[in-house]
Amino acid sequence: MALARVAVTAASRSLRGSPSRLRNVCPAWTQRPASMSGALGARAFSAQMSPPSKAVVYEQHGSPDAVTRVVEVPPVLVKENDLCVRMLAAPINPSDINSIEGVYPVRPPVPAIGGREGVGEVYMVGSEVKNFSPGDLVILSPPSFGTWQTFVVKDQSLWHKIDKETPIEYASTITINPLTALRMLEDFRTLESGDSVVQNGATSMVGRCVIQIAKARGIKTVNIMRDRPGSDEAKEQLKGLGADEVFTESQLEVKNVKSLLDGIPEPGLGFNCVGGNAATLVMKFLGAGGIMVTYGGMSKKPITASTSSFIFKDLSLRGFWLQKWTTPEKSPECRKMVDDLLTLVRRGGLKYETELAPFSDFHIALDKSLGKLGSQPKQVLKF
């Protein structure tokens, strides 16, 4: 399958379904070599071009199911330091949804191709590329826009080679959610074995990673999930991953939630990715001087903190955004953490539920990610 340093004839490529605006989503296409300009006409030129790509494109922001469509985009130039990667899998994350909606602070200009993380196989390398070969398994690290397409062309500095034995559903999802869980357990408080943390959104990928990484360090977890069909089964799943306690929100409608802790020490650190009542519950579990870290807002509801939680408990409300770890200077450290997490995955120490969805069923996977079909595992597009 892999094709190295192959010259293709651009004039022979089909531009089916590729309105001129879509050329903007493939910047390399606009940087044509001199041989392509002016007198191109029917004359073929030889340069390294990617194959045409099938991509999820949105030309304006809005509801993802209304503004996204799958189109064929033209081949792009594979420049001397580029890798052309045949994508194998890419997840649909909440931040992808928010980017398409136009509410995520960092997003590509439209028209754009969706997706921010993913795994693929090197298909073609630029003439100056020495450290990658066709067939290598690579991920974008740090995450980078435009992974929901069959071929991605980006500078070699953005790609990270990983062990070929890594299952694609993990390789494609490792750089955002598991890394967030790891950093949140490290960055706010020194946790010792025997300490505890509390979190809502415990069924999320981040939540599941928090449970397992904490467990491996001897840290106990108190977990909150929303009330919904299948909650009993989900609780058992989380306990199977090592959760010490799992409560639905309605179980916590009691005067003193800490009376339910059953020997678990009062948590000093809490994670909130939901907001609203679920955030209030995290704060109720925290002990004096506790820190609640907000990293998501799945319920779209604001956080309300009681006056007494500040005066009598001196709680701190903090925030986490992985974006601050995605600077070029931090890239080596990030890749080391990603490699460590993938080693944990291959040893069976980090598990989470995903559903591989054929790319041809993109809009079904999108509906599942939007919650239109009830609670669903993380949708991972398989190309």
Ligand X SMILES: NC(=O)c1ccc[n+]([C@@H]2O[C@H](COP(=O)([O-])OP(=O)(O)OC[C@H]3O[C@@H](n4cnc5c(N)ncnc54)[C@H](OP(=O)(O)O)[C@@H]3O)[C@@H](O)[C@H]2O)c1
Active site residues: 104
Residue 175 is a binding residue for ligand X (CB under 6 A): no
Distance of alpha carbon 52 from alpha carbon 46, whole angstroms:
16
Size of the site for ligand X (CB under 6 A): 26
Distance of alpha carbon 97 from alpha carbon 365, whole angstroms:
12
Q: Which DSSP category does 5 fall into? A: S
Q: Which of residues 301-320 bind ligand X (CB under 6 A)?
A: 320
List 293's β-bridge partners, or say none.
271, 318
Residue 93 is a binding residue for ligand X (CB under 6 A): yes
Q: Give the DSSP per-residue string, 302-353.
A: PP---HHHHHTT--EEEE--GGGG-SGGGHHHHHHHHHHHHHHHHTT-----
User: Helix and strand tally (H, E) in the chain?
Assistant: 11, 18
Q: Give the DSSP per-residue string, 26-39.
A: SHHHHS--GGGSST
Give me 352's structure tokens. Answer: 């989470």
Distance of alpha carbon 177 from alpha carbon 189, whole angstroms:
19
Per-residue contact track with ligand X, 225 to 264, x per CB under 6 A?
xx-x------------------------------------
Q: Using the minimum distance from each CB to ligand X, give the nearer residue, 137 or 273.
A: 273
Residue 270 is a binding residue for ligand X (CB under 6 A): no
Q: Using the minimum distance from each CB to ligand X, give the nearer residue, 56 or 224.
A: 224
- Of the residues 116, 154, 368, 378, which one makes contact with ligand X according to CB under 6 A: 378
- Of the residues 53, 177, 196, 272, which one makes contact with ligand X according to CB under 6 A: 177
Per-residue contact track with ligand X, 37 to 76, x per CB under 6 A?
----------------------------------------
> Helix or strand or coil: residue 67?
helix
Burial of 109 (0-12, 13-18, 19+ CB in 10 A): exposed
Q: Which of residues 274-303 bind ligand X (CB under 6 A)?
A: 274, 295-296, 298-299
Residue 213 is a binding residue for ligand X (CB under 6 A): no
H or E, element range at 276: helix 276-285
Q: Using the minimum distance from each CB to ligand X, give the nearer residue, 151 or 295.
A: 295
Shortest gap between Cβ of 205 and ligand X (angstroms)? 3
Q: Which of residues 317-346 bind ligand X (CB under 6 A)?
A: 320-322
Residue 140 is a binding residue for ligand X (CB under 6 A): no
- Of the residues 55, 205, 219, 334, which one makes contact with ligand X according to CB under 6 A: 205
Shortest gap between Cβ of 299 and ligand X (angstroms)? 4
What phi and psi, each to the nearest 5 degrees, are found at residue 197?
A: -130, 155
Residue 356 is a binding residue for ligand X (CB under 6 A): no
Residue 180 is a binding residue for ligand X (CB under 6 A): yes
Residue 124 is a binding residue for ligand X (CB under 6 A): no
Shortest gap between Cβ of 369 and ligand X (angstroms)? 7
Distance from the first to the final alpha carbon of the chain: 14
Sheet holding 112-113, edge to edge: 68-73, 53-58, 112-113
Residue 118 is a binding residue for ligand X (CB under 6 A): no
Residue 144 is a binding residue for ligand X (CB under 6 A): no
> Helix or strand or coil: residue 203?
coil
Binding region for ligand X (CB under 6 A): 93-95, 176-177, 180, 201, 203-206, 225-226, 228, 273-274, 295-296, 298-299, 320-322, 371, 375, 378
